[in-house]
Amino acid sequence: MHIVTLRDPSAPVVAQYAPSAGMIGISLTDSGVELLGQRAGLDAYLAAGKTMGIPILYPWANRLGGRSYTVRGEEITLAADAFGVRTDPNGLPLHGLLAGYPSWRVMTESANELTAELDFAADSALLASFPFPHLLVVRVTLAERSLTVRSTVSAIGDKPVPLCFGFHPYLQLPGVPRAEWLIETPRLRHLLLDDHGLPTGETEEQPPIHEPLGHKAFDDGYDEVPEGAVFAVSGGGRRIEVHFEQGYPAAQIFAPAGEEVVCFEPMAAPTDALRRGGYRSANPGEPAVAVFSIRV
């Protein structure tokens, strides 16, 4: 497997990506200290879609409330054996189709930049579950202590492409007890969820968070996230920020109890938007761009 190593020209920050394993970020280190949660590792991600590092969740992030959805009058059903579809404990489709997907094509690779392309239209197995021909290009740049991930979706043909994808960066602070991690968020609109982790339609305003993680657990969704919003975790003299720079108006905070990770997930639309609506689309001739960055 080809592993791409990116080095920050101005700081001892190093990132690694595996394009042929689903264009997943597998490492982000500062002076040799690993800042991405490795969880069960890359092998488990390839074999069973068990997430780690920085996976892309595509074409939907989080879960769908069922195995069918309708877009502009066209009903699409995910077959029981549909390619790439994995489910949560309730049997709901989870995190899209691209976990470990091998057919990314590296377009450019340099000391601190990687660009890879996925021709969604070229794979009939992908189109069976998401019948919207398009190109997906992900460009990753490491500079000035920031890992910047820019995604561009370009429709092929005359069908707009729903934008419901996201990323799932697992962050950690080695050597600092989880209970002492300080988490920070902006003011947000909290989406109340049902027992299956799906939005109920009710919301509540949440003031900015600036508090120790302690023994709390999070699996919480938000919408109306402003461009430029910053989420952060800090402790032990280290701070990691996730910047929602462009095209990510929704977020999920995930910090499971008893696990040494916290995730601030940039999402192009809230959970289950592909079924419920409320998403943007990449229209023909108008590529859609989304950008987030992780600053160490």
pLDDT band at residue 282 under the 50/70/90 scheme? very high
Give me the mean pLDDT over the 23-45 stretch: 97
Q: Residue 225 is part of which domain span?
A: 4-295
**Domains of the chain: total:** 1
| pLDDT, mean of residues 107-113 | 98
On the 0-12 / 13-18 / 19+ scale of CB atoms within 10 A, 119 is: middle
pLDDT at 211: 97
pLDDT band at 73 (very low <50, low <70, confident <90, very high): very high
- C-alpha to C-alpha distance for 21 and 102, rounded to whole angstroms: 5
What are the residue ranges of helices labelled H in the chain?
41-48, 124-129, 273-276
Q: d(Cα 49, Cα 8) in Å, to the nearest integer? A: 29
Contact 236, 175 (CB under 8 A): yes
- Average pLDDT score over residue span 31-44: 97
Residue with tokens 């592909």: 274
pTM beyond 0.85: yes
Q: What is the CATH number of the domain that holds 217?
A: 2.70.98.10
Give residue 18's identity as a one-letter amino acid code: A
Mean pLDDT of the chain: 97
Q: How far apart are CA 135 and CA 232, in angstroms?
A: 32
Structure tokens at 108: 């450019």
| pLDDT tens figures, 123-171 | 999 999 999 999 999 999 999 999 999 999 999 989 999 999 999 999 9
* pLDDT tens column, 225-265: 999 999 999 999 999 999 999 999 999 999 999 899 999 99
What are the phi and psi torsion angles at 33 (to 5°)?
A: -90, 125
CB 61 within 8 A of CB 143: no
